Structure 1
């Protein structure tokens, strides 16, 4: 499965199917994680908060190719993307594994992913470096087997996203 997950509406020619999903997070109701760990203890693999996030994180888990589109704020994902990724914690277990000599959560039936992170906005060089380091660190818990971070100005965003989506067709 392939997933295009964006923090804003994109006007691109995207053919959605069982294997290709486009999710515009700005149109969804996603609450903040409350840190209750219910997804690990009370209802393993399922968040106890019943909002739109419960429809999104299973698709994240199943996808082997992902494109995440997010504005960068303070060296991180913008609020709606960060909130969704935090709410995806049910796709991991409470248990710890060693990965490359580091402690990381055990995955709960999560496909290995080829990931493209398209970061947009007026981003300073230092902020770009912080964001790249964040993606590198997150890649272990997000099950990325490969990833690439692409920085673009907002006015070129849709063109760059469309180009990356077309690569899925090859």
Structure 2
């Protein structure tokens, strides 16, 4: 499966691409994680909060190619993207494993992924460096086989995303 998660509405041409999904997070009702660990002990693999996040995080787990589109705020993801990523913890188990000399959660039926992150908005070199470090750390937890980050203005975004998606047709 191929998945695009965006914090803004965009026109993305998915015609001719099988099993591809575009999710505009700005149009969904996604509450903040309450840190109850219910997704690990009470309802393993499912968040106890019933909102739109429960439809999205299984798509993240199943995707082999994923595009994240997020405005950069203080070197991190925009609020709606960060909220979803935090609510995606049910795709991991409470158990820990050793991975490259560090402890990480065991994944729950998660596909390895090729990820592309479109980070838009004006940000300083320090914010770009911080965001790059954040994505590198996320890549260890989210089973990225590979990842690329593109920093750009919001005006360049839609065209750049469509060019990336066009590569999925090959």
Which stretches in structure 1 are left out of the alignment for 5+ residues? none
CA distance in 1, matches of 2:48, 2:116: 30
The residue number in structure 2 matching 1:69 is: 69
Counterparts of residues 19-168 of structure 1 (less than 5 Å): 19-168=19-168
Residues 38-87 of structure 1, C-alpha deviations (whole Å, 9 max, x = no match):
00000000000000000000000000000000000010000000000100
Aligned residue-pair number: 170
**1:18 deviation in Å?**
5.9
Contact 1:16 1:22 in 2 (8 A): no
CA distance in 2, matches of 1:79, 1:167: 29
Change (3 A) 1:39 1:10: same
CA distance in 1, matches of 2:22, 2:129: 28
- Aligned with 2:39: secondary structure? coil
CA distance in 2, matches of 1:14, 1:2: 10
Residues 108-138 of structure 1, C-alpha deviations (whole Å, 9 max, x = no match):
0000000000000011111000000000011
Q: TM-score, structure 2 length as denominator?
A: 0.98
Say whether 1:15 aligns with 2:26.
no
Which stretches in structure 2 are left out of the alignment for 5+ residues? none
CA distance in 1, matches of 2:95, 2:83: 22
**1:151 deviation in Å?**
0.5
CA distance in 1, matches of 2:89, 2:13: 31
Contact 2:29 2:51 in 1 (8 A): yes
Q: TM-score, structure 1 length as denominator?
A: 0.98
- Aligned with 2:115: secondary structure? strand
